[in-house]
Amino acid sequence: MQYEFTIIVPLFNEEENLLRVEQALSDYINKAIKMSSVLLVNDGSTDNSLTLIEEICSRQEHFRYISFDKNRGLSAAIKAGFDHAESPLIGYIDSDLQTDPEDFDLLLAEIGEYDLVTGVRGNRKDRFVKNISSKIANNIRRSFTNDGMEDTGCPLKVIKAEYALNIPMFQGLHRFLPAMILLQEGTVKQVPVRHYPRLAGTPKYHLWNRLGGPLVDCFAYLWMKKKYINYKIEKKG
């Protein structure tokens, strides 16, 4: 089957959420505006996630998975998803389902003239500390990248595969996906999406890896921007 759109779901120790993920994404792809599939990326979970993933993929025709040998981090899981997707468009959503898969259609409606479309979470349902630390981190990152993005951490994105595969990923770079598209002279757009409280599982990020880590990554991004190779072929023969 030739899919138009692959939804990557990185996950680490999310056994409490996986059946909800199955139901929500199965419901979505049955009525999505693009022929869609789901790629679950197990980032070395130590709970019962892998067993559940195998069961889900055995009964869902449009689901498949890859599983790491050990925990490698969110950026590695996203890169693996980019590398193993088999469609011209790639999406990304978190397994906590704090964003709604149905909002992918809002992003897909805009992707034609853009190379990456990212959600902006309105009326966020997170705790105060998480909201304020994310706001500070976004301001810091935006001052380094000048990408104009209000909410680069929103876990709902659609990107053209040709651009995704050209991103030189490193740990932490998932926060810089719009900036990396701009480095390729691509175009980006933000679209408001819905946001919900986390119903199950445990958040994997705390104050340090929302603030300290991204600040260090900003300097890595500046180095990469300076060294980045970009070219276009005008003729060949």
CA torsion 218-232-80-207 (nearest 10°) is 10
Residue 232 belongs to some domain of the structure: no
**Successive 10-residue mean pLDDT values, the chain, 237 residues:** 94 95 97 96 96 98 96 92 96 93 96 94 62 62 69 88 88 82 92 83 55 71 78 83
Per-residue b or e along 68-80, where b marks 16 or more CB atoms closer than 10 Å to that residue's CB? beeebbbbbbbbb
Residue 207: the pLDDT is: 47
Residue 236 included in any domain = no
Look up the domain containing 115 and give its range.
5-227
Q: What is the DSSP string of 51-112?
A: HHHHHHHHH-TTEEEEE-SS---HHHHHHHHHHH--SSEEEEE-TT--S-GGGHHHHHTTTT
Cβ atoms of 180 and 173 within 8 Å: the answer is: yes
- Residue 87: inside a domain, yes or no? yes
Tell me what pLDDT residue 206 has: 47
CATH number for 13: 3.90.550.10
Instruction: Please state the pTM of the whole predicted model.
Output: 0.83
Q: Is 237 among the domain residues?
A: no
**Residue 170, domain member (yes or no):** yes
pLDDT of residue 176: 84
Task: Give me the pLDDT at residue 210, please.
Answer: 54
The 8-class DSSP code of residue 155 comes to: S
- For position 215, what pLDDT does the model report? 73
Structural domain count, the chain: 1
pLDDT on residue 139? 63
In a domain, 136, yes or no: yes
